[in-house]
Structure 1
Amino acid sequence: ILRKFNSAIVGASRGEGLYNTELNVAVSGRTSLDLPRQALDLIDRIRNRLDKGRLLNDWKLVTIFIGTNDIGKLRCIEK
């Protein structure tokens, strides 16, 4: 839907593997504890992908999905 409003959008995943994931730094099985590392990876990818003009002037949209793997690690403890 975003491409309908701007066909020049970059960074969307086109499949699996480092080359196809573009600016998607999600790693299957990770938890919220890994978010700082993923943020640093994203910054590196953005800097390598965008020229300085686009880096400074273009809007960025970052979506973060967390929870499922964190919830899966919780345990109920009866008292």
Structure 2
Amino acid sequence: MTTTLTRSNFANYFTLDNSKSYKTEANLLAALEKLGFREDRYIVCLNLQGRFTAIFPQSNIQDGNAMRYAAHGFMTIG
């Protein structure tokens, strides 16, 4: 059985609407390059407005600085 993803059932998991987002994937990748995050592991996602954002696993955080990605508006998981 497949379930259609809607705003109401998506919000039960997590929302990307408050994450930093970009109109195109190319713009997102350029921003990640500028911030020095391009070589880090991340997942490219679309938010409910159809804009691109990145989610970073906490396993990327080598120096214990959990705010590294969040300070720039990106979500971390893990």
- Does the TM-score normalized on the shorter chain lie above 0.5? no
Instruction: Give the number of the structure whose residues are more often strand, by fraction.
Output: 2
Structure exhibiting the larger radius of gyration computed from Cα positions: 1
Q: TM-score, normalised by structure 1?
A: 0.28
Q: TM-score, normalised by structure 2?
A: 0.28
Instruction: Give the number of the structure whose residues are more often helix, by fraction.
Output: 1
